[in-house]
Amino acid sequence: MRFLVLHGGASLREELKPKVEKFAELAFEKETALDAVVESVRLMEDDPDFNAGTGSNIRIDGSIQMDAAVMIPNELGAVINIERVKNPVLVARDVMLKSPHLILSGDGAVQFARKMGYPDYDPRTKYREDKRKIIIEKLKSGQIPEYYHPEFFKEFLGDTVGAVAYIDGKFAAAVSTGGTALTLRGRVGDSPIPGAGIYCGEKGAAVATGIGEEIIKRMASLRAHNMIGDYSLHDICSRIVKDFGEIPFGIIMVSREEACGLSNLKMPYAVISE
């Protein structure tokens, strides 16, 4: 079996599903699981409709800091709070393949990216600028809904992109995000934290999306991976999603036999198998 699953973020943005499906078909042409997940995420980073790469959320202070990670069994590459690069997921892959480290953050991640040949790039879009202004105005006038409320996600978040694959007997996972809206500079979400927003092991791969703080507390991806073999993937996804109650959350998974995606919102996702 060959599986590729993509998601475009736990949100209410169902209209993004056709794009996610198109990107899944393009990325499925790649020969390895790692190339397929990296290409999936790169395509979504380059589309300003998604909160990753170009079109990332803007922090309260006006800066854009992005997180990304790639993982295969026993290997990880991640960048935390990287700035002014076009494709954080490509830098994360280079951390895994071309550095002795697993995770680089902040200025060090940017310096590494430049050394690897990634030029200065501003991922800012007018859409996100306008959103940030609206959020700040609503905050000032006390109109902002509760942070975890689905309506808040619908209007402002559109969280994270990710992909998991099983191709030619190999698993891989990749994830990228501009972080949730309205965060402080320096805040780190779940996406680059192994076991939280991403996990890839011998039994399969899982990538999560939603409120990073809640996902880290629950170590959602590692827990999901460790249940493979005990339950069907659908049951595992249901159990993990249920654990989040009404807190916006989504997860995609692959094992050797199955692939699945589930969210308590309307996460746009695509599953391809062969």
220: which 2 tokens? 């959602």
Contact between 45 and ligand GLY (CB under 6 A)? no
Contact between 195 and ligand GLY (CB under 6 A)? no
Q: Which one among 34, 190, 237, 259 touches ligand GLY, defined by CB under 6 A? A: 190
Q: Which one among 176, 191, 255, 263 touches ligand GLY, defined by CB under 6 A? A: 191
Q: Which one among 123, 159, 172, 174 touches ligand GLY, defined by CB under 6 A? A: 159
Q: Which of 32, 125, 160, 209 is catalytic?
A: 160
* Comparison of 174 and 211: residue with beta carbon closer to ligand GLY: 211
**160 is known as an active-site residue:** yes
Residues touching ligand GLY, count (CB under 6 A): 13
Min dist. Cβ of residue 232 to ligand GLY (A) = 25
Q: Specify the stretch interacting with ligand GLY by CB under 6 A; choose among 166-174, 204-212, 221-229, 238-246.
A: 204-212
Q: Nearest-CB residue to ligand GLY?
A: 189
- Which residues, numbered 119-138, are part of the site for ligand GLY (CB under 6 A)? none
Active site residues: 160
